[in-house]
Amino acid sequence: GPTPSPMPPATMDAFRDHGVVRATIEEDVPGAEAVMAKLARSGIDIEAVAEQLVKEGVQLFIDAADNLLGAVAGKRTALLGHRLDGQSLVMDDTLAAEAKKTVESWRASGSIRRLWAGDASVWSGHDEANWLGWLHIVEEELEKAADYAAFSDWVKAEGFTDVVVLGMGGSSLGPEVLSLTYGQREGFPKLQILDSTHPDQVRALEASIDLAKTLFIVASKSGSTLEPNVFRDYFLARAKDVLGDRAGDHFVAVTDPGSDMERAAKADGFKRIFYGVKQIGGRYSVLSAFGLVPAAAMGLDVKALLETARIMVRSCGPAVPPAQNPGVLLGTAMGAAALAGRDKVTIVASPAIASFGAWAEQLIAESTGKQGKGLVPVDGEPVGVPAVYGHDRFFIYLRLDGNAEAAQDEALRALERDGHPIARITLDSVEQLPQEFYRLEMATAVAGAVIGINPFDQPDVEASKVETKKLFAEAEASGALPAETPLFSDDAIALYADPQNADGLKQATDGLEPALKAQIARLKDGDYLGLLAYVPRNAEAAGILQEARIAVRDTRKVATCLEFGPRFLHSTGQAYKGGPDTGVFLQITADPSQDLPIPGRSLGFATVVAAQARGDFAVLAERGRRALRVHIKGDLEAGLKRIAAALKAAVA
């Protein structure tokens, strides 16, 4: 084989031109010793000189190696052709120069090699090395492909009509993308997700399935999260009503080894337990068992899915220099944009893959939004004309070839002409979507490094969980949540805020319309509006609030987020509480049509969702965020329409 030669190309060229081969190393040793002694007397530290030369020499080799690796990566990309999703970045000169500088510093410091080697100093030097299981998960899961295929065969043979994932955050958003993108497969059950504790939503899901023919996938990494546990308690009891002792055969668990959920699943006779990887956080878990068990249950070919993802894994690998590395290129651009004030990462996707936005939103928000820094992802905002945007946007456009929307294409071209930064990602077919999970995981990890935070912790999500658990436990002990005093109340709505926000919103005592006008008036350039709705997540509610959201964006030119509680608590909730203090929040709560009891607990789902909303608001208030809560008392639709009308009036 070839001998690795420690000789930069320039040296080889020089030797070829005028070199002579001869054994010079042993000529005149005493003379050499005399020269060294003289140098020392003159105060020249030859050790330091040697160290400097070695450093510079090594850097030359790194540069040469990166050139070679870059050429190899380029050839590989060309060979893959359309099998690798394309990516192009368009930025104005200033941002492009910053991004280029960042890419070069990543190359010169070997950052992508260090990242793959688990060097925590790429980020903040904390516990990052413990959270890098996602880097290698695709190869590891490919070894289990036959097991997933066998599970898939079993699901089909059992004749289940429905399969329901009971989970929150990362455990639910990945499977939801798979379900909405790939739809129901011939001979396989329909996949649904339950990630809401709202009694009306739980009831609606139960009404849509046949319990005797449903498989439940209880997904919880830690096994101690409140929601999956109450979902399990509820549906296991309901399944026992129908199936008796065979209820456990309709349940599988996905959880980390040694968790509370593992113990409970064994005690309840679950059919199977699939294991997550402890070194993977929930939001990075889609290509692990948390995404693959639901994928197998709905009849997707897990092996093919992973092999598609692997194309991107290798393209983002340690031997691919930053300038050719799609994950690093996107991540450095996102990071540079954030540092330049363009921190609202706005996701636009072709209709067939639109659900990817909600998954991307939780990954970006929970990973980067902390210590007052970070990226605020924006999902579900229909793309508008340049005039409705401020200078705080970074666009990611996922375009499905042959299925793209002409209006989106045209809108993005206009935004490009207007100088907005755009990352265009092109997919040949929906089958290639698994690549995008991995690209964005890498890009988010890289952006976190550029911003200077640990992308793998979630301190403010934990704070909300703790507050919710405390409130719920106290309510269970005393029989109800503590009473609250509204700032204003009529027969249809009530307004609530903490003392500091109440002080900043004197108009709130006058009623809904003045209160919302005052709350919207708190939006400044570069801020964003967050609508946090603890109501059933359905097309009607989303449609009403979406209209109001767009009215605010179009008139105030600020980014807007529309989130349904409690699901966003496990994802974007991190950025809203821990990220930049640029959010103005309107929390919307409502009385459920009726409560739903939870077996083994004294209080029902209505108290869980109310405790979650209160826990959420308490942490927003504690972090000094601008927040107001509107509570709908009577008819939900009428209440939402009134809030939407008031928001539109506030910006008219």
> Which CATH number belongs to the domain containing residue 198 in this structure?
3.40.50.10490
Reading phi first (left if > 0) and then psi (alpha if -120 to 50, else beta), residue 618 is in: alpha
Both 440 and 351 in a single domain? Answer: yes
What pLDDT is recorded for position 65? Answer: 82
Asked if the structure places residue 126 within a domain, the reply is: no
Last residue of a domain, one of 401, 421, 451: 451
Last residue of a domain, one of 308, 335, 353: 308
Both 206 and 285 in a single domain? Answer: yes
Both 198 and 325 in a single domain? Answer: no
Cis peptide before 6 (omega within 30 of 0): no
The angle formed by the CA atoms of residues 473, 221 and 446, to the nearest 5 degrees, is 120
On whether the CB atoms of residues 92 and 339 are closer than 8 A, the answer is no
Last residue of a domain, one of 278, 308, 338: 308
Q: List, in order, residues 6 or more apart from 418 with CB less than 8 Å away.
A: 386
Asked if the structure places residue 293 within a domain, the reply is: yes
C-alpha 107 chain-centroid distance = 26
What pLDDT is recorded for position 381? Answer: 98
What pLDDT is recorded for position 5? Answer: 57
Asked if the structure places residue 123 within a domain, the reply is: no
Reading phi first (left if > 0) and then psi (alpha if -120 to 50, else beta), residue 341 is in: left
Q: What are phi and psi of 159, to 5 degrees?
A: 75, 30
Q: What are phi and psi of 627, to 5 degrees?
A: -140, 145
Q: 535-563 burial by CB neighbour count: b if 16+ within 10 A, else e?
A: bbbeeebbebbbebbbbbbbebbbbbbbb
For residue 455, the tally of other CB atoms under 10 A from its CB is 29
On whether the CB atoms of residues 369 and 576 are closer than 8 A, the answer is yes
Both 49 and 172 in a single domain? Answer: no
Both 488 and 537 in a single domain? Answer: yes
Asked if the structure places residue 2 within a domain, the reply is: no
419 token code pair: 């100088």
Asked if the structure places residue 487 within a domain, the reply is: yes
Both 325 and 179 in a single domain? Answer: no
Asked if the structure places residue 127 within a domain, the reply is: no
Both 478 and 446 in a single domain? Answer: no
What pLDDT is recorded for position 569? Answer: 85
Partners of residue 397 on adjacent β-strands: 348, 424
Asked if the structure places residue 34 within a domain, the reply is: yes
User: How would you class 522 by CB atoms within 10 Å of its CB: exposed for 0-12, middle for 13-18, buried for 19 or more?
Assistant: middle
Q: Which domain holds residue 353?
A: 84-117+318-451
Both 550 and 507 in a single domain? Answer: yes
- pTM metric for this prediction: 0.92
What pLDDT is recorded for position 385? Answer: 97
What pLDDT is recorded for position 449? Answer: 98
CA–CA gap between residue 465 and residue 473 (Å, rounded): 12
Both 465 and 429 in a single domain? Answer: no
Which residue, among 579, 308, 619, has the nearest Cα to 469 in the 3D structure?
Answer: 619
Task: Give the chain's domain count.
Answer: 4
Asked if the structure places residue 128 within a domain, the reply is: no
Which residue, among 402, 394, 403, 401, has the nearest Cα to 348 in the 3D structure?
Answer: 394
Both 364 and 408 in a single domain? Answer: yes
Both 326 and 302 in a single domain? Answer: no
Write out residues in the chain with pLDDT < 70, as ranges.
1-6
Tens digit of each residue's pLDDT (9 = 90 or more) over 48-77: 888 888 888 777 777 888 888 888 888 888
Both 528 and 558 in a single domain? Answer: yes
Adjacency order of strands within the sheet including 559-564: 488-489, 493-496, 626-632, 583-590, 528-534, 559-564
Query: Residue 193: helix, strand or coil by DSSP?
Result: strand
